Structure 1
Amino acid sequence: MSNIINARVTFRNSPIHVLEKFTFKDLDSAYESFRKHSGLKELVILQTCNRVEIFGSTDKPSMQKIKKTWASLAGLEEMAFKENFEVSEDTEVCEHLLRLTSGLDSMVVGEEQILGQVKDAIIQAKEMRASGEYLNTLFDKAVKIGTRVRNSTGINKGTISVGSMAVKLAEENIDDLKSKKILLIGTGEAATLVAKSLEKRDYHFYVTSRTMERSKAFAETVGGEPIGFEEIMKGFSNYDVLFVATVAPYFLVTFDRIKDAMKSKKDGMMILDLSNPRTVDEKVATIHGIKMMNLDQIAEMVDKNMRYRTNQKNSAEKIISEEIQVLEAHMKRLEIEPVVKEIFKDIDVRRSKELEKALRMLGETDESKVKIIDDLTKAIVEGIISTPMNNLRKASEQSNDDLLKAATKLFDYKKKE
């Protein structure tokens, strides 16, 4: 199989404030640089708020060149990729892309946005003349298969995340949520899901993290208005709803802080702790005017939806496992097509030369007779060569390298650079 590679930095191994550092500010320049310096013959860049991915086709893959080009564009040291970088090749790339278009590799399984983002990525790559036959074929088929998975399984229907459930609970428990002051503490995966849900419902909210830089990066990428961490630690009384989604190993929202905050508040406060481990002191729930829910309680409400989603996910996985074999065979066949075309072309050149000789010897000039003889020679060549060429195509699909090497040697095929 031709060398198809995928290099990526995603939400799975990088929190949003880290992922932001790997993004390309100017995609046109990114395409230009990768084509010049990475050694990739074909290229597609997929960039969303949850992932930055490079898909490429090349004879000699060099991750070092890809990292170097990427680091240069993003203004990073190459060492920055050490813990955040994932790489796939060949069949793994096909499977990864199918999981993307089907919604199986998203934060919220089945979410629809990624399918459109993959479509946009290949359209832009085509417009930039960065992609070619291999990646165009791969992406076009992946989009069709992803659409089929969604239509067949309904995996994109009724899906809900812990983050969106938390927002839904706030809506159900607080009158006129749009008029309330909402604070999100955290910039990780759970916080991202909350932020996306708030943005989708058009709620204004503040976001904070340990550093202002991280809060700003999160706000620019996902949404929210950044605010200083120390400021909110002293001013919980300013907020009506708190979404807490951090990985701190201690209580950020303490009993004393909330008790003091409630002294100056006329209305109550709702606190939703999505942290694991919990970062809101459970005793906070005993304070008058506080309505509190933790991750276990929220997750329990999501459980029914999760069971439904698991069934759909299993169906989607089954379709993908069937389709991946067909797609892989098709991609492998693309590799042998230049050989087949070149062999047909070479034989036809020889046929034409011999036909010209024969016609000169016959002194034949009658156009109708010349056409009959021409068609006859084409039919003979087609009849002789079609079967071995079809067998060659099948051999490529089955990864029969010995037969492929024998055929290229037998027909004296030399790959054009």
Structure 2
Amino acid sequence: MTLLALGINHRTASVAVREQVAFTPSQLENALGELRCLPHIREAAVLSTCNRTELYCVTNSAGEQAVLEWLSRFHDLSVDELARCAYHYLDHDAARHLMRVAVGLDSMVLGEPQILGQLKDAYQQARQAKGLGGELERLFQHTFAVAKQVRTETGIGKNPVSVAYAAVSMASRIFDDFGRASALLIGAGETIELVARHLHEAGVRTIVVANRTRERAQALAGPLGGEAIALPDIPTALEKADIVISSTAAPLPILGKGMVERALKKRRHRPVFMVDIAVPRDIEPEVGELADVFLYTVDDLEEVIEENRRHRQVAADQAESLIEHGVGSWQQEGRLRQGGELIRDYRRHGESLRDAARDQALERLARGEDPAKVVERLAHQLANRFMHQPTLALREAATQENHELLSAAPQVLLPSKPAFDKPAPAAKRQKDDTPA
């Protein structure tokens, strides 16, 4: 059987394709059941996020095409369209890919930590759907152990490398308790969406999103339990905001010094942390002159990001080394299991030959045949039966010039020393036994 990883991600497919191939939570149980029931599939798990959809299967040689065709049918896409943006890995390459995904080396943001939690969710869902057998179970557990080692021994997740994450990270330096802070986000593009998600995950419970189109703001704020407002409502919202982060495409500033001054008076000069990610800027530079405002621009963030990116790349190189070691140990464990299974099968085969020969010998003894002849026949049968299959295999190897098998055969088939030690000559024994 073969380990297969097949999928698409942000590097191989546009968001338009990714959203068509993604599995919703309500689809996942049915999808796992269908995938597991394919004739070529023995085990299956599905990882589906905004940036990737990946299927991990234990299958035979025909499984890859079967999985691709099933995925296209499930999402009503053409196989050719899907094949153009799909990738696949087999056996140790599939294991390596899963480990790289788990530690964030294959993520849009290098080393981002959310993917490990998403992978653990995928593992639990596959278990509940009875999609996991021994092979995937062991692989996932091994992957989680490698990911823990990488997080513990490297700094892969310590330094923010996106504008959104850097903005939230800087805010955390000012506010000891994010749970008491309120955030006003201006804009509703991808960056603000990431900022909103990071703030929510950091513990900010009051999030207000202001946008020119209120419907778009609601689509962003709603899933996080936030509030959507229009741009004219910003002055009122500003009075309650401890954190203000803005990223719009407006040609002129949205927040002026006067508006912020009025809000600070209503706040009784409680400090406000502001980040202006927009270019052109959304916040007038003069706002930074106010005593109770900490204003940062995208340039301030880029300095942090570039420095952190360098640190994280060093950690990523360390992570790659740990992953290679993890892949090697996973392969070694697999070889040991395979060897153990082979030994068990070989011993069962030998025991079956032994039992058959013994039963035949007992039958002859019961019929009154000469015991010496029965024993001689038993020894002859056992030797022939044990040597029959190896003899055929060696002849075939010689015919096919299979030098690898012929070279290994003596070590496997021939004893390193005589099976029975010959007794020493009597005179030699007497000499050796004479007391000193």
TM category (shorter chain) comes to 0.5 to 0.7
Report the alpha carbon displacement of residue 2 of structure 1 after superposing the two structures with TM.
1.5
In 2, are the aligned partners of 1:14 and 1:84 still within 8 Å (CA)? no
Secondary structure, in 3 states, of the residue corresponding to 2:2?
A: coil
Partner of 2:279: 279
Report the alpha carbon displacement of residue 98 of structure 1 after superposing the two structures with TM.
0.9
In 2, are the aligned partners of 1:6 and 1:87 still within 8 Å (CA)? yes
Partner of 2:199: 197
More displaced stretch, 283-292 vs 147-156: 283-292
Deviations 1:200-223 (A, max 9, x none): 2224213467877765665566x3
Please tell me the residue identity of whatever aligns with 2:69: K
Report the alpha carbon displacement of residue 329 of structure 1 after superposing the two structures with TM.
5.7
Secondary structure, in 3 states, of the residue corresponding to 2:263?
A: coil
Secondary structure, in 3 states, of the residue corresponding to 2:296?
A: strand
Please tell me the residue identity of whatever aligns with 2:364: M
Structure 1's 149 and 14: CA in aligned 2 closer, same or farther, altered over 3 A? same
Gaps of 5+ in 1: 389-399, 408-417
**Max radius of gyration: which structure?**
2
Alignment partner of 2:69 out of 54, 65, 72: 65
Secondary structure, in 3 states, of the residue corresponding to 1:266?
A: helix
In 1, are the aligned partners of 2:160 and 2:169 still within 8 Å (CA)? no
> Is 1:308 aligned with 2:321?
no
Q: TM-score, normalised by structure 2?
A: 0.64
> Is 1:128 aligned with 2:129?
yes
Q: How far apart in 2 are the matches of 1:197 and 1:236?
A: 19
In 1, are the aligned partners of 2:43 and 2:132 still within 8 Å (CA)? yes
Structure 1's 282 and 129: CA in aligned 2 closer, same or farther, altered over 3 A? closer
More displaced stretch, 138-147 vs 100-109: 100-109
Partner of 1:93: 94
Partner of 1:298: 301
Within a 5 Å distance, the mapping from 1:215-234 to structure 2 comes to 218-219=220-221, 223=224, 225=226, 227=228, 231-232=230-231, 234=232
Report the alpha carbon displacement of residue 42 of structure 1 after superposing the two structures with TM.
1.5
Structure 1's 224 and 116: CA in aligned 2 closer, same or farther, altered over 3 A? same
Report the alpha carbon displacement of residue 49 of structure 1 after superposing the two structures with TM.
5.9
Q: TM-score, normalised by structure 1?
A: 0.66
Q: How far apart in 2 are the matches of 1:135 and 1:303?
A: 38
More displaced stretch, 290-299 vs 202-211: 202-211
Report the alpha carbon displacement of residue 298 of structure 1 after superposing the two structures with TM.
0.9
Deviations 1:263-313 (A, max 9, x none): 894339765244xxx434378324675864333311313444444333322
Report the alpha carbon displacement of residue 318 of structure 1 after superposing the two structures with TM.
1.2
Q: How far apart in 1 are the matches of 2:233 and 2:18?
A: 28
Structure 1's 84 and 147: CA in aligned 2 closer, same or farther, altered over 3 A? farther
In 1, are the aligned partners of 2:155 and 2:312 still within 8 Å (CA)? no
Partner of 1:393: none
Structure 1's 36 and 168: CA in aligned 2 closer, same or farther, altered over 3 A? same
Partner of 1:138: 139
Report the alpha carbon displacement of residue 198 of structure 1 after superposing the two structures with TM.
3.7
Structure 1's 85 and 270: CA in aligned 2 closer, same or farther, altered over 3 A? farther
Structure 1's 214 and 259: CA in aligned 2 closer, same or farther, altered over 3 A? closer
Identity of aligned residues (%): 21
Q: How far apart in 2 are the matches of 1:108 and 1:334?
A: 37
Partner of 1:324: 327
In 1, are the aligned partners of 2:186 and 2:245 still within 8 Å (CA)? yes
In 2, are the aligned partners of 1:40 and 1:58 still within 8 Å (CA)? yes
Q: How far apart in 2 are the matches of 1:309 and 1:261?
A: 41
Within a 5 Å distance, the mapping from 1:139-218 to structure 2 comes to 139-153=140-154, 155-156=156-157, 158-162=158-162, 163-170=164-171, 178=180, 180-188=182-190, 191-192=193-194, 194-207=196-209, 218=220
Report the alpha carbon displacement of residue 58 of structure 1 after superposing the two structures with TM.
2.1
In 1, are the aligned partners of 2:276 and 2:282 still within 8 Å (CA)? no
Structure 1's 351 and 206: CA in aligned 2 closer, same or farther, altered over 3 A? farther
Q: How far apart in 2 are the matches of 1:172 and 1:328?
A: 44
Alignment partner of 1:258 out of 255, 259, 264: 255
Q: How far apart in 1 are the matches of 2:220 and 2:39?
A: 29
- Greater length-normalized contact order (CA 8 Å, ≥ 6 residues apart): 1
Q: How far apart in 1 are the matches of 2:233 and 2:13?
A: 33
Q: How far apart in 2 are the matches of 1:40 and 1:299?
A: 47
In 2, are the aligned partners of 1:19 and 1:51 still within 8 Å (CA)? no
Equivalenced residues, count: 367
Partner of 2:33: 32
Please tell me the residue identity of whatever aligns with 1:24: T
Structure 1's 209 and 266: CA in aligned 2 closer, same or farther, altered over 3 A? closer
Secondary structure, in 3 states, of the residue corresponding to 1:227?
A: strand
Please tell me the residue identity of whatever aligns with 2:255: I
Within a 5 Å distance, the mapping from 1:10-49 to structure 2 comes to 19=19, 22-26=22-26, 27-36=28-37, 40-48=41-49
Structure 1's 301 and 355: CA in aligned 2 closer, same or farther, altered over 3 A? same
More displaced stretch, 52-61 vs 327-336: 327-336
In 1, are the aligned partners of 2:275 and 2:296 still within 8 Å (CA)? yes
In 2, are the aligned partners of 1:4 and 1:89 still within 8 Å (CA)? yes
Secondary structure, in 3 states, of the residue corresponding to 1:258?
A: coil
Report the alpha carbon displacement of residue 142 of structure 1 after superposing the two structures with TM.
1.5
Q: How far apart in 2 are the matches of 1:88 and 1:213?
A: 39
Secondary structure, in 3 states, of the residue corresponding to 2:122?
A: helix
Q: How far apart in 1 are the matches of 2:212 and 2:21?
A: 17
In 2, are the aligned partners of 1:167 and 1:194 still within 8 Å (CA)? no
Structure 1's 15 and 208: CA in aligned 2 closer, same or farther, altered over 3 A? farther
More displaced stretch, 336-345 vs 112-121: 336-345
Report the alpha carbon displacement of residue 345 of structure 1 after superposing the two structures with TM.
4.5
**RMSD of the alignment, in Å?**
5.0
Report the alpha carbon displacement of residue 4 of structure 1 after superposing the two structures with TM.
1.1
Partner of 1:360: 363
